[in-house]
């Protein structure tokens, strides 16, 4: 059994159950690259302070390379008695290079070390997430552009509301993702502070050159307060929040596409590559890809709740509760990464069935347009609403579409109706009225697509 880093003041040995309960190595081994990167910088800083000689620094750097290779290859056994990845790396290093390795922890605590590793991990994870979001944004833009003029029913309450362009619907997703991207960019910026030098909580007693460490590790600033630096897990909470909102967005589009891929709607058809079948019913082609993204949303919310709850009321500075921060984050990183890949695959491959969409537009969807017509002729909107409501009743009773009602019927409801009514009574005409910025008119959607392309190509750099 490995000797404890902190064994000096103890007489008895740790209960096996306690060792298992206490160990984070089972999951924090995921941070080994970051831990080694931090240790390299730490060794260089120690050499500048004269704690390590030039020769010892060489030994330590070589030793760390070797530890990294062993961990890459999976040949270094990571057992619970090693407690965590910080201990495992330091112990192995010391085994390899002796006293020089035993000096590496000078002025450092696992409290600032873990904060550093996590921030390094998060920077990488967030940068990948941003790149993936951008890939989805690109796919959505392409779909919108390729299907610019497909008209479909727009829904509220899953009831037909007004005609829209399918491309307009797709661009709604694009703008949601643009905000998600910007949330992750914010998260990245705030996480980008270097905590080493904070020690356990009071700051290192050695004159650690924090500026040097910052530079070495590529951070844009150093943390301002050592107590805060070892207590802070905001960076993870923000990441989990941004991930939860992102998943909420994806789940809503999953829901729509799932419904739309049913035979009743038939608006889209998922590619075989992102569908699965039934073991019993030979005809089935199920949208499992989208159902899983929708389902995994719950798991990401759970991870956010889990860490918020773990952090609640934790006395400053560090307490072991905080070790519970890693699994929700690792699980989220994996879940979000897979979900974005699958979701983007679905968008790149699904078939958009424009005719079905246009055919589905029902006979009362132009009611608002009728009311707007009366408004343009000077009738107050509330009265128009009433008049058109009556006409809808008539049309439904006769089994006619609104646009099929003849002029005498219309004029019986309001004298203001005239022959020019025919010009506005089509889905095309309805969308053509809506070319204001943000509307579903053709020009408006084209402007959105252009703005989207610009945002995607000259958007903020995320590092
Ligand atoms: N494994 C610990 C964690 O993840 C590292 C920090 C331990 N610090 C301590 N004072 N025991 O939180």
Higher pLDDT, 157 or 9: 157
Ligand 1 pocket, residue 111 CB under 6 Å:
yes
pLDDT, residue 101, reads 96
Quote the mean pLDDT of the chain: 95
Confidence of residue 3 (pLDDT cuts 50, 70, 90): confident
114 touches ligand 1 (CB under 6 Å): yes
Ligand 1 pocket check for 323: Cβ under 6 Å: yes
Give me the active site residues, please. Answer: 157, 278
Per-residue model confidence as pLDDT tens digits over 283-320: 888 999 999 999 999 999 999 999 999 999 999 999 99
The whole-number pLDDT of residue 164 equals: 98
Per-residue pLDDT tens over the stretch 24-44: 999 999 999 999 999 999 999
Closest residue to atom 10 of ligand 1, CA basis: 111
Copy the structure tokens of residue 59: 């030994």
* Alpha-carbon 324 to chain mean position: 21
Report whether pLDDT(463) > 70: no
Q: Average the pLDDT over 81-95 and give the result.
A: 97
325-350: pLDDT as tens digits: 999 999 999 999 999 999 999 999 99
Please tell me the residue having the least CA distance from ligand 1 atom 3.
323
Check pocket membership of 113 for ligand 1, CB cut-off 6 A.
Answer: no
- Domains in the chain (CATH in brackets) are 7-106 (1.10.275.10), 111-151+164-206+224-359 (1.20.200.10), 367-458 (1.10.40.30)
| Residue 180 near residue 133 (C-beta atoms within 8 A) | yes
Distance 158 CA to ligand 1 centre (A): 50
pLDDT category of residue 1 using cuts at 50, 70 and 90:
low
Residue with CA at minimum distance from ligand 1 atom 7? 110
Mean pLDDT of 144-170: 97
Q: Please, is 272 exposed, middle or buried when counting C-beta atoms within 10 Å of its C-beta (0-12, 13-18, 19+)?
A: exposed
pLDDT score of 461 more than 60: no
Whether residue 84 has its Cβ less than 6 Å from ligand 1: yes
pTM to 2 decimals? Answer: 0.94
How many CB atoms within 10 Å of residue 398?
11
Mean pLDDT of 155-172: 97
Please tell me the predicted confidence (pLDDT) of residue 462: 39
Distance 453 CA to ligand 1 centre (A): 45
438 pLDDT above the threshold of 60: yes
Enumerate residues 6+ apart whose C-beta is below 8 A from 103.
46, 51, 52, 56, 60
């Amino acid at each position: 059994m490995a000797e404890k880093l902190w064994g000096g003041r103890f007489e008895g040995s740790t209960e096996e159950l306690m060792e298992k309960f206490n160990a984070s190595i089972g999951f924090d081994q995921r941070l080994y690259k970051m831990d080694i990167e931090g240790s390299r910088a730490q060794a260089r800083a120690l050499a500048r302070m004269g704690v390590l000689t030039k020769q010892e620094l060489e030994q330590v750097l070589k030793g760390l390379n070797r530890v990294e290779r062993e961990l890459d290859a999976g040949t270094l056994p990571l057992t619970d008695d090693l407690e965590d990845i910080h201990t495992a790396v330091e112990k192995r290093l010391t085994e390899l290079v002796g006293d020089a390795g035993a000096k590496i922890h000078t002025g450092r605590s696992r409290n600032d070390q873990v904060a550093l590793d996590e921030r390094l991990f998060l920077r990488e994870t967030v940068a990948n997430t941003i790149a993936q979001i951008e890939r989805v944004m690109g796919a959505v833009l392409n779909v919108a552009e390729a299907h610019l003029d497909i008209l479909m029913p727009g829904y509220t309450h899953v009831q037909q509301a007004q005609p829209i362009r399918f491309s307009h619907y797709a661009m709604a997703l694009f703008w949601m993702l643009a905000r998600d991207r910007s949330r992750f960019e914010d998260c990245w910026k705030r996480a980008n502070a270097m905590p080493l030098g904070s020690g356990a909580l009071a700051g290192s007693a050695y004159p650690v050159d924090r500026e040097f460490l910052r530079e070495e590790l590529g951070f844009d600033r150093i943390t301002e307060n050592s107590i805060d630096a070892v207590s802070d897990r905001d960076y993870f909470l923000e990441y989990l929040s941004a991930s939860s909102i992102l998943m909420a967005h994806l789940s809503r589009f999953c829901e729509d596409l799932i419904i739309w891929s049913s035979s009743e709607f038939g608006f889209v058809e998922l590619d075989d590559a992102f569908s699965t079948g039934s073991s019993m019913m030979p005809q089935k082609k199920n949208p499992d890809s989208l159902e899983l993204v929708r389902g995994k949303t719950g798991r990401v919310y759970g991870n956010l709740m889990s860490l918020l709850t773990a952090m609640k009321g934790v006395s400053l500075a560090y307490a072991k509760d905080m070790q519970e921060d890693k699994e929700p984050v690792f699980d989220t990183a994996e879940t979000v990464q897979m979900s974005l890949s699958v979701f983007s695959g679905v968008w790149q491959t699904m078939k958009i069935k424009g005719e079905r969409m246009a055919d589905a537009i029902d006979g009362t969807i132009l009611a608002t347009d009728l009311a707007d017509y009366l408004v343009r002729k000077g009738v107050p909107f509330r009265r128009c609403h009433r008049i058109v409501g009556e006409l809808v009743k008539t049309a439904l009773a006769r089994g006619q579409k609104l646009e099929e009602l003849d002029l005498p019927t219309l004029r019986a409801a309001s004298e203001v109706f005239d022959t020019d009514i025919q010009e506005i009574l089509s889905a095309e005409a309805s969308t053509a009225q809506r070319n204001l910025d943000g509307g579903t008119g053709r020009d408006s959607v084209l402007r959105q697509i252009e703005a989207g392309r610009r945002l995607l190509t000259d958007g903020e750099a995320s590092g």
